[in-house]
């Protein structure tokens, strides 16, 4: 057995610069110089190596940092094939070893010897762990062969057995990685993703491994797992020395963290968040940032190099290594000083302070499973604590850097965090929140939600402390951030709270997480501070339900010390509500004139209110009080809601009318909602509408606009134009000046219609139109309010009066409804007198054409028409009308002459017959 002392990295394994994010620590040095290593794994205190010639080496740690070689064997006595992969199955103490001839053998752990009586699996190109079942103590393994993906099971009892002959048929699948059912593979020259639980789903193609040309060499696929949700794959050009890309993709195949440009196509790649390590040709490993911590450049920040060409390899082992020896004592002291918790208020607790410091010291350790290995040995890469890489500039750019880093750690690495990393993340979280306070323009909802989201791990009282509020209990914070907290407090950041501190407190309380150890004092701090602000400003919305029950005694004590009871009436209301003290609640609302809330309360609790209140006079008194308090657009809705309340309790709502006698607008609204019950209601409401109609016309000078509409209609001399009433209705409807006019006008018209259809109360209708006539202008309103001609009451307007109105406004089509034989000529004369001859001829022509029935059988009427027609009217325009009439009259004359001759002949014959009889 060969003993190997571990120490710091050999001089031929170099890392530059030393101040970079990684430090090297040697596990093994001076490995056999005649071997070239191709695989490395670790299990507990054991290290396993595979070589390019099929050798398997097993080292054991006999004491800390001191390994010895305890075995060196061949994978197979018959072959020198390269060991390509060692996969450990630590929970069942087994390992799978693969060589480049496709042979896969099951080994025992920790001795690293083949399992007896187990045959190699042939034609394997790659393998990956699918799942471990704790219940059955079995690993499920996905194996890629030349033609298919296969599912195998590995256990301590049955060894390795195939559970699915061909999970899915795939040719040329060379590399695979797996996150549970999501598998990424390199097949032919492409990366692809497939969900093994949805085998019927399509394979999702990603990128080419390289861009092939006839002369280009074949590049080996390079990919690795970043976390449980993402993979990293490398895609190159047509030459290994061309620039390549490292792409991070999620399980849906989307690029999730951008693209990293690489100097050339790598041989290996690994990720130690937030860094990517790239191995180029085995001569150097280059470190770049996945997440830029202090700048936006993508330049290498550190390089690990080997003096041996093409020998350097990188691997992530199953084993993890802890080493605090290489950390600079000054750095360690700095980290402890920054991360230890200190009290912000009560400083006299030395024992607790020492305990907090010790806690950080105990958990401050470097942990890593990432190694570099080769001829120079096996060296662990320890990532320096991120807190040492933050420059404490406190500039605004640090916020997005911290946010991105913490988001990644919380989302994808939380399950594997060490205690130290957890402390560090809490420190960085608080630092981010403090920087947001420093640089934000206003402390708005976004800022508060940031704090609230972290309230499970970050004491939200720090924010309230900075804003100079009263604090209950003690605040413990990181010593490294204490100066920043106190500096922020000196800045008086309360001026950034544009929406006020009460708003801030309510939002904090709404989103507060109860996982903090001192939640009781945190909630009390928020509740009492809000109460104090409320006592200074009683317009704030205060809901006792938002307070923790355990804080009620403190709240009551504070309220009892107040002199002015009105300042805490809203709180008392909340308490009454909680205690279901109904009458006290309503009495206090009436006392404070909060009648809207009173109505809401009655509506909500009507079924719970005392019966003597609901069925006695007091309910109507309160409803009337509410209605008399205001008259606005919401009053009608409120009245309707009152009716629903009363009807639900089988109470007649008409009683409400008598309670609002002096409030005419409200009384009108009630009658409108209930409907007119008797003549008194009808008389009252019509008088109200007429008064408001006249008032609206006078205040808005509407007669001028109505006359303007009339003139506009009169000037349109088209015979078949729309009737005057329809024209006016359109004008009124689309003129905002008539908005109130139409409200009262339509109410009046509805009452008229109902009166005619229901009881035909002629006395009421006559009196109504008599009142309208007192402020009407040329009977226009009367005419507009008339029912249809068929039901027109002649006591309102006679047909002659209506015809006069129609002639005045030139409503030609409607005039015809009132035409008679007697007034036809007078209407025609009105048309003849039109100032434009062309229109008068057209109007007369249309009049006679459409009403020819008045002329056909009356020659005198016809002659009178002819006498009235002006001589200058061209006869051609009237020929089509006059000729049929003349022709009809001529035919009639001839018929009369013939009838006369026949009568004469008949008389002569009769006379002759009489004479003959006399002679006889």
- pLDDT range class, residue 790, cuts 50, 70, 90: very low
Give the number of other CB atoms < 10 A from CB of residue 483.
9
Nearest CA to 773 out of 743, 795, 756 is that of 795
Burial class for 643, CB neighbours closer than 10 Å (0-12, 13-18, 19+): middle
What's the pLDDT tens digit per position in 126-139?
A: 999 999 999 999 99
Q: With 80 as the cut, is the pLDDT of residue 419 above it?
A: yes
Q: With 70 as the cut, is the pLDDT of residue 737 above it?
A: yes
pLDDT in the model for residue 892 = 56
What's the pLDDT tens digit per position in 590-608?
A: 878 888 888 888 888 888 8
Q: Is residue 444 part of a domain?
A: yes
Question: Does 738 lie in the same domain as 693?
Answer: yes
Give the number of other CB atoms < 10 A from CB of residue 312.
27
Q: Is residue 500 part of a domain?
A: yes
Q: Is residue 683 part of a domain?
A: yes
Which of the pair, 758 or 67, is modelled with greater confidence? 67
pLDDT in the model for residue 880 = 66
Span 670-682, mean pLDDT? 77
- pLDDT range class, residue 858, cuts 50, 70, 90: confident
Q: With 80 as the cut, is the pLDDT of residue 307 above it?
A: no
What's the pLDDT tens digit per position in 622-656?
A: 888 888 876 666 777 888 888 888 888 888 888 78
Span 688-702, mean pLDDT? 88
Q: Is residue 635 part of a domain?
A: no
Which of the pair, 636 or 700, is modelled with greater confidence? 700
pLDDT in the model for residue 902 = 55
Q: With 90 as the cut, is the pLDDT of residue 100 above it?
A: yes
d(CA 461, CA 476): 10
- pLDDT range class, residue 376, cuts 50, 70, 90: confident
pLDDT in the model for residue 794 = 55
Question: Does 396 lie in the same domain as 465?
Answer: yes
Which of the pair, 204 or 8, is modelled with greater confidence? 204
pLDDT in the model for residue 364 = 83
Task: Give Dmax (Cα) for the chain.
Answer: 184
- pLDDT range class, residue 293, cuts 50, 70, 90: very low
pLDDT in the model for residue 1 = 47
pLDDT in the model for residue 70 = 95
Question: Does 902 lie in the same domain as 830?
Answer: yes
What's the pLDDT tens digit per position in 253-262?
A: 998 877 888 8
Question: Does 523 lie in the same domain as 477?
Answer: yes
- pLDDT range class, residue 268, cuts 50, 70, 90: very high
Q: Domain limits at 708?
A: 677-797
DSSP 779-822: THHHHHH---GGG--TTT--HHHHHHHHHHHT-HHHHGGG--TT
Q: With 90 as the cut, is the pLDDT of residue 569 above it?
A: no
CB 280 within 8 A of CB 315: no
The pair of structure tokens assigned to 350 is 């030395």
pLDDT in the model for residue 906 = 59
Which of the pair, 98 or 547, is modelled with greater confidence? 98
Total tally of structural domains belonging to the chain: 3
Q: Is residue 862 part of a domain?
A: yes
d(CA 900, CA 897): 5
- pLDDT range class, residue 758, cuts 50, 70, 90: confident
Question: Does 403 lie in the same domain as 522?
Answer: yes
Q: Is residue 832 part of a domain?
A: yes
DSSP H or E stretch at residue 262: strand 255-262
According to DSSP, the residues that pair with 9 across neighbouring strands are none
Q: What percent of the chain has pLDDT over 70?
A: 88
Span 705-728, mean pLDDT? 88
Span 362-384, mean pLDDT? 88
Integer-rounded Cα Rg, in Å, for the chain is 51
Question: Does 516 lie in the same domain as 402?
Answer: yes
DSSP 387-417: HHH------THHHHHHHHHHHHHHHHSGGG-
Span 184-193, mean pLDDT? 92
Q: Is residue 766 part of a domain?
A: yes
pLDDT in the model for residue 294 = 46
CB 764 within 8 A of CB 687: no
d(CA 31, CA 2): 10
Which of the pair, 408 or 782, is modelled with greater confidence? 782
Question: Does 774 lie in the same domain as 879?
Answer: no
Burial class for 845, CB neighbours closer than 10 Å (0-12, 13-18, 19+): middle
Q: With 60 as the cut, is the pLDDT of residue 7 above it?
A: no
Span 189-197, mean pLDDT? 91
Which of the pair, 827 or 667, is modelled with greater confidence? 827
Task: Check residue 737 and report its DSSP letter.
Answer: G
Cα separations (Å) of 576 from 159, 175, 258, 376, 601?
A: 73, 71, 58, 80, 12
Q: Is residue 72 part of a domain?
A: no
Q: With 60 as the cut, is the pLDDT of residue 172 above it?
A: yes
Among 532, 562, 587, the domain-final residue is 532
Question: Does 869 lie in the same domain as 778?
Answer: no
Question: Does 690 lie in the same domain as 784?
Answer: yes
pLDDT in the model for residue 487 = 92
- pLDDT range class, residue 233, cuts 50, 70, 90: very high
Which of the pair, 506 or 569, is modelled with greater confidence? 506
Question: Does 782 lie in the same domain as 695?
Answer: yes
pLDDT in the model for residue 886 = 65
Which of the pair, 327 or 335, is modelled with greater confidence? 335
| Mean pLDDT computed over every residue of the chain | 83
Give the number of other CB atoms < 10 A from CB of residue 818.
19
Among 505, 532, 559, the domain-final residue is 532
pLDDT in the model for residue 9 = 42
Cα separations (Å) of 728 from 73, 657, 705, 785?
A: 109, 36, 11, 12
Among 532, 555, 587, the domain-final residue is 532
Question: Does 792 lie in the same domain as 897?
Answer: no
What's the pLDDT tens digit per position in 873-891?
A: 776 666 666 666 666 655 5
Q: With 60 as the cut, is the pLDDT of residue 895 above it?
A: no
Q: With 50 as the cut, is the pLDDT of residue 191 above it?
A: yes
pLDDT in the model for residue 590 = 86
Cα separations (Å) of 374 from 7, 275, 283, 822?
A: 16, 22, 10, 126
pLDDT in the model for residue 72 = 94
Q: With 60 as the cut, is the pLDDT of residue 898 above it?
A: no
Task: Check residue 716 and report its DSSP letter.
Answer: -
Question: Does 834 lie in the same domain as 792?
Answer: no
What's the pLDDT tens digit per position in 799-809?
A: 888 888 888 88
């Amino acid at each position: 057995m060969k003993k190997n002392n571990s120490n710091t990295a050999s001089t031929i394994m170099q890392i530059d610069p030393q101040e970079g994010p990684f430090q090297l620590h040697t596990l093994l040095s001076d490995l056999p110089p005649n071997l070239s290593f191709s695989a490395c794994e670790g299990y507990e205190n054991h290290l396993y190596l595979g070589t390019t010639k099929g050798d398997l080496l097993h080292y054991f740690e006999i004491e800390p940092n001191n390994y010895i070689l305890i075995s060196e064997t061949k994978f197979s006595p018959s072959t020198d094939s390269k060991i390509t992969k060692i996969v450990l199955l630590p929970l069942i103490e087994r390992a799978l070893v693969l060589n480049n001839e496709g042979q896969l053998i099951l080994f025992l752990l920790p001795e690293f010897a083949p399992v007896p009586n187990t045959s190699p699996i042939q034609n394997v190109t790659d393998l990956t762990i699918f799942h471990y079942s704790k219940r059955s103590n079995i690993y499920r393994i996905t194996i890629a062969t030349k033609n298919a993906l296969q599912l195998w099971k590995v256990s301590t009892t049955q060894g390795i057995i195939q559970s699915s002959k061909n999970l899915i048929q795939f040719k040329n699948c060379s590399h695979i990685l797996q996150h549970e059912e999501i598998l990424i593979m390199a097949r032919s020259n492409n990366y692809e993703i497939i969900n093994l639980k949805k085998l019927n789903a399509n394979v999702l193609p990603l990128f080419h491994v390289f861009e092939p040309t006839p002369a280009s060499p074949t590049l080996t696929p390079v990919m690795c797992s970043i976390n449980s949700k993402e993979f990293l794959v490398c895609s190159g050009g047509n030459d290994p020395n061309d620039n390549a890309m490292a792409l991070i993709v999620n399980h849906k195949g989307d690029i999730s963290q951008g693209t990293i440009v690489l100097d050339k196509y790598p041989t290996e790649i690994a990720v130690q968040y937030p860094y990517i390590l790239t191995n180029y040709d085995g001569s150097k490993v280059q470190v770049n940032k996945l997440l830029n911590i202090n700048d936006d450049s993508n330049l290498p920040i550190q390089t690990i190099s080997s003096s041996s060409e093409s020998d350097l390899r990188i691997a992530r082992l199953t084993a993890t290594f802890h080493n605090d020896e290489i950390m600079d004592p000054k750095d360690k002291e700095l980290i402890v000083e920054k991360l230890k918790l200190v009290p912000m208020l009560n400083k006299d607790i030395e024992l607790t302070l020492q305990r907090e410091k010790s806690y950080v010291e105990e958990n401050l350790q470097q942990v890593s499973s990432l190694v570099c290995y080769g001829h120079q040995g096996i060296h662990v890469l320890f990532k320096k604590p991120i807190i040492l890489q933050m420059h404490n500039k406190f500039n605004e750019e640090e916020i997005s850097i911290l946010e991105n880093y913490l988001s990644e750690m919380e989302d994808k690495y939380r399950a594997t965090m060490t205690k130290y990393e957890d402390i560090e993340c809490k420190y960085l979280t608080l630092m981010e929140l403090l920087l947001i306070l420093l640089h934000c323009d206003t402390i708005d909802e976004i800022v508060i939600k940031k704090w609230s989201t972290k309230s499970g791990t970050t004491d939200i009282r720090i924010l309230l402390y900075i804003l100079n509020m009263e604090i209950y209990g003690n605040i413990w914070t990181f010593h490294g951030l204490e100066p920043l907290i106190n500096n922020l407090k000196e800045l008086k950041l309360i001026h950034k709270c544009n929406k006020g501190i009460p708003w801030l407190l309510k939002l904090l309380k709404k989103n507060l997480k109860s996982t903090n150890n001192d939640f009781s004092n945190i909630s009390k701090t928020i509740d009492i501070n809000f109460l104090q602000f409320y006592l200074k400003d009683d317009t704030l919305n205060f809901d006792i339900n938002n307070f923790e029950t355990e804080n009620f005694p403190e709240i009551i004590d504070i309220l009892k010390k107040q002199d002015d009871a009105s300042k805490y009436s809203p709180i008392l209301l909340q308490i009454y509500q909680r205690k279901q003290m109904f009458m006290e609640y309503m009495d206090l609302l009436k006392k404070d004139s909060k009648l809207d809330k009173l109505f809401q309360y009655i509506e909500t609790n009507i079924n719970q209110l005392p019966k003597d209140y609901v069925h006695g006079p007091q309910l109507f008194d309160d409803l009337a009080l509410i209605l008399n308090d205001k008259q606005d657009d919401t009053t009608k809705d409120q009245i309707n809601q009152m009716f629903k309340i009363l009807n639900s309790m089988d109470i007649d709502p008409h009683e409400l009318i008598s309670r609002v006698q002096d409030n005419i607008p409200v009384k009108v609204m009630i009658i409108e909602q209930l409907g007119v019950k008797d003549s008194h209601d009808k008389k009252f409401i019509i008088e109200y509408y007429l008064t408001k109609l006249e008032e609206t016309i006078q205040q808005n000078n509407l007669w001028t606009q109505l006359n303007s509409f009339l003139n506009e209609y009169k000037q349109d001399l088209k015979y078949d134009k729309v009737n005057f009433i329809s024209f006016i209705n359109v004008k009124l409807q689309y003129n905002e000046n008539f908005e109130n006019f139409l409200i009262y006008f339509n109410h009046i018209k509805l009452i008229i219609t109902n009166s005619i259809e229901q009881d035909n109360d002629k006395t009421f209708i006559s009196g109504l139109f008599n009142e309208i006539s007192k402020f009407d202008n040329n009977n226009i309103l009367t005419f507009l309010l008339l029912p249809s001609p068929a039901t027109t009451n002649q006591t309102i307007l006679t047909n002659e009066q209506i015809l006069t109105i129609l002639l005045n406004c030139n409503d030609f089509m409607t005039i015809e409804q009132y035409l008679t034989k007697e007034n036809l000529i007078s209407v025609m004369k009105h048309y003849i007198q039109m100032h434009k001859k062309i229109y008068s001829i057209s109007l007369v022509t249309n009049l006679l054409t459409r009403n020819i029935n008045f002329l056909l059988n009356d020659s005198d009427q016809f002659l009178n028409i002819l006498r009235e027609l002006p001589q200058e009217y061209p006869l051609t325009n009237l020929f089509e009308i006059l000729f049929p009439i003349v022709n009809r009259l001529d035919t009639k004359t001839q018929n009369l002459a013939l009838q006369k001759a026949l009568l004469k002949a008949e008389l002569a014959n009769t006379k002759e017959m009489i004479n003959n009889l006399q002679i006889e």
